[in-house]
Amino acid sequence: MLARQLRRIGIDPHAGPPSAAQWSALLALTGETYAEYEQLVYLVTRAERMSTDELQRSQSALAEAEQIAGLGSWTWQPGNDTLRISSTLAGLMQLPANTRELSLAHWLDSVESTDRVLLHDSLRHAARQEVSLCGELRLQGYGGLPRWLQYRIVSRPMPDAPGTLAVSGTLLDITERMRAEEQVRTLAFQDPLTGLYNRARFFDLLGSARSRVHEAQEQLALLFLDLDGFKEINDRHGHDAGDQLLRQVAERLRGTVSPHDPLCRFGGDEFLVLIRSKGGEPALNAVAQQILAAIAVPFDVDGRRLSVGVSIGIAVYPRDAMNTLDLVRAADTAMYQAKQQGKGRVEFHRPAAAI
């Protein structure tokens, strides 16, 4: 190439020394080439600097977007025991903001045990083949409260390493959403006055319990409770006093029956208790007698001692009814029999012919 450039200005590289005119032409060509080189170096350097600045701006924008959305990102090379994590993910994991590596073992250990197996299996699956997975998991509680995260895992082949998969993913903090949904469920299933199950939720639980008692060889009993003397208290002391009394009745019922036995405020001053047992009528009667004794103790309402009683009717599935509504009707009928027998007592449902 050098020989061609010299011949362009009339210099034979195999001849004698160049003339003065030839030296001038050679210097002009050299200067022109050097100037072009300097310009090229400047343009390349400027382009590299712009690319670096744009990359930094892009990374900064991504980090800001992650922080605003509460979305943390991570990457993992299968076979490695650490993940590369973003600053937002470090915050979600209660790590220092400048942490960029997270031990895989530490991540798994931080997840609630019931979700840990699912996360571990998802990562193993992603390490073996291309996948796109998503789900929800709970981090072990910080300050006693669990935190919910939505995760997404994606694995893709690495362009520069055929046969190797790169695994990446995101974690989104959905704790507030989950708590809001739980509050909605609570409002939908609870009686607002007493905090007991409402009628709709209780019927769901009753239907589910009916399907399980056959397998467990247990009996399912429904206790229908109606307070004696409540109307008089409401009329004499007002609805506010009546509401306070109903809340205290609910608390006493909670303290009397097993935590596994659902309680419902059926309406007004009526309550339902669902009991699964293998003890037959004697065991059910013993529970009912405990309820009678608990309600018989006077209540303190705004400094006033107020007393009510309770009449209880009991129906047993499937002996007394084969479906939910008929079981409630049977227990209700038994409760009215208790009222007719003098109130403050327990009656089991009996067919009309047996009464």
pLDDT score at 353: 45
Average pLDDT of span 310-320: 94
Neighbours of 326 (CB within 10 A): 13
Would the pLDDT of 245 be above 90? Answer: yes
Q: Judge whether 318 lies within some domain.
A: yes
Pairwise CA distance, residues 113 & 116, whole Å = 5
Burial annotation 87-102 (CB, 10 A radius, 16+ → b, else e): bbbbbbbebeeeeeeb
Question: Out of 269, 300, 302, 320, which one is annotated catalytic?
Answer: 269
Would the pLDDT of 328 be above 70? Answer: yes
Quick one: 203 and 350 in the same domain? yes
Return the CA Rg of the chain: 40
* Residue 264, φ and ψ in degrees, nearest 5: -140, 140
Quick one: 241 and 280 in the same domain? yes
Pairwise CA distance, residues 87 & 22, whole Å = 65
Among 179, 214, 243, give the residue marking a domain's end: 179
Distances (CA, A) of 86 to 119, 123, 183, 208: 19, 18, 32, 45
Q: Judge whether 237 lies within some domain.
A: yes
- H-type helices in 70-198, by residue range? 87-92, 104-110, 113-128, 175-189
Quick one: 155 and 228 in the same domain? no
Quick one: 201 and 175 in the same domain? no
Would the pLDDT of 67 be above 60? Answer: no
Q: Judge whether 36 lies within some domain.
A: no
Quick one: 250 and 133 in the same domain? no
Q: Judge whether 88 lies within some domain.
A: yes
Quick one: 272 and 319 in the same domain? yes
pLDDT score at 44: 47
pLDDT score at 338: 95
Q: Judge whether 339 lies within some domain.
A: yes
* Residue 351, φ and ψ in degrees, nearest 5: -55, 150
Query: Where residue 55 falls among pLDDT bands split at 50, 70, 90?
Result: very low
Would the pLDDT of 62 be above 70? Answer: no
261 is catalytic: no
Quick one: 142 and 201 in the same domain? no
Find the domain containing 275 and state its range: 196-354
Averaged confidence pLDDT in the chain: 82
Residue 298 gets which letter from DSSP?
P
Quick one: 228 and 344 in the same domain? yes
Quick one: 167 and 203 in the same domain? no
In sequence order, which residues have a C-beta less than 8 Å from that of residue 348 and are 6 or more positions away?
Answer: 281, 284, 285, 313, 314, 315, 316, 334
Pairwise CA distance, residues 172 & 176, whole Å = 11
What is the count of structural domains for the chain? 2
Quick one: 139 and 200 in the same domain? no
Is the pLDDT higher at 67 or at 106?
106
CATH label of the domain that carries residue 235: 3.30.70.270
Quick one: 160 and 214 in the same domain? no
Q: Judge whether 229 lies within some domain.
A: yes
Q: Judge whether 137 lies within some domain.
A: yes
Among 153, 179, 205, give the residue marking a domain's end: 179
Model confidence pLDDT, tens digit, residues 184-242: 777 788 998 999 999 988 988 888 888 777 666 678 999 999 999 999 999 999 999 99
Quick one: 160 and 201 in the same domain? no
Query: Where residue 266 falls among pLDDT bands split at 50, 70, 90?
Result: very high
Lowest model confidence (mean pLDDT) among 53-62, 96-105, 315-324: 53-62
Q: Judge whether 41 lies within some domain.
A: no
pLDDT score at 345: 94
Average pLDDT of span 111-139: 90
Among 150, 179, 208, give the residue marking a domain's end: 179
Distances (CA, A) of 157 to 164, 167, 196: 6, 9, 54
- Bridge pairing between strands 161-173 and 101-103: unpaired
CATH label of the domain that carries residue 109: 3.30.450.20
Lowest model confidence (mean pLDDT) among 48-52, 170-174, 254-258: 48-52
% residues pLDDT > 70 (the chain):
77
